[in-house]
Structure 1
């Protein structure tokens, strides 16, 4: 059985740890063999790692790192739903990356690569996915990036 913590340690990263927010929706919902992971923001524990618009106070590199953290948090909820057994992941099917973009910022796809690359590092070919990356006028709590995912599991 491959665990999330093991995979993170193998690639030299600290495993995520996210507290469930007191919100009127679930961080992850399973319908049959599909998991829907709610939009994840760049938070570590109870702290938001970065705030602001990409291209206006948040650099491309910072935004890519924020997207990676969002993907890590999505993997946290995936791991929790699968009770620590990432071998049950068939494939990440679809990822959507939302970028809080300043007017004129057009490197939306490069920001999304931060999330996509982490899914690939953790899950290999099972992490390869379809993706949309969208520029937004604003995101919750003024975070620069939010990432959600749809995952096929067994």
Structure 2
């Protein structure tokens, strides 16, 4: 099964790469690695489920936001590989940031929204190393941000 057919079966349309909100690039290719800048849960031009886990955002909404961040990671990756999914060898690492209250401790469950998507899309090549970190605030009031590193050919 091709990556495009997997995406289709998951009901995912990879969006157009959004414009960076500050002075950085969305990705950088270094040798056989694509380092993807932190992606916010933009969907249809809006931040999906803004706020803080443990206060205004439920666990389920946080998972959905992380999944949307991962879809936006895929948009950056698709641009970096010029649309040729066969170049992707593996997802090496995801970094997940969760805006949360000080007593919220389910950061790994939130970032599973991104990790699970990588597995669904890339199979075994989607398994990766990962960090899931709680933070006080994220850009534009987002509840989740996800960065990634992929190995490509």
Q: Out of 19-28 and 104-113, give the one that drifted further.
A: 19-28
Map of 2:73 onto structure 1? 74
Per-residue CA deviation, residues 109-136 of structure 1 (Å, 9 max, x unaligned), is: 1001000000111111111000010011
Stretches of 4+ aligned residues off by more than 6 angstroms = none
TM-score (norm 1): 0.93
C-alpha RMSD of the superposition:
1.6
> Is the CA contact (8 Å cut-off) linking 1:3 and 1:85 kept in structure 2?
no
Q: Distance in 1 between matches of 2:21 and 2:94?
A: 24
Map of 1:99 onto structure 2? 98
Equivalences for residues 75-154 of structure 1 within 5 A: 75-154=74-153
Q: Distance in 1 between matches of 2:11 and 2:44?
A: 19
Per-residue CA deviation, residues 40-72 of structure 1 (Å, 9 max, x unaligned), is: 000024221221001101000000000000011
Q: Distance in 1 between matches of 2:21 and 2:98?
A: 24
Map of 1:24 onto structure 2? 23
Structure 2 gaps, min length 5: none
Question: Number of paired residues?
Answer: 153
Task: Compute the displacement of 1:35 (Å).
Answer: 0.5
Distance 1:53 1:22, change over 3 A: closer
Distance 1:59 1:77, change over 3 A: same
Distance 1:22 1:143, change over 3 A: closer
TM-score (norm 2): 0.93
Q: Distance in 1 between matches of 2:25 and 2:44?
A: 17
Structure 1 gaps, min length 5: none
> Is the CA contact (8 Å cut-off) linking 2:14 and 2:74 kept in structure 1?
no
Task: Compute the displacement of 1:22 (Å).
Answer: 5.1
Task: Compute the displacement of 1:25 (Å).
Answer: 0.8
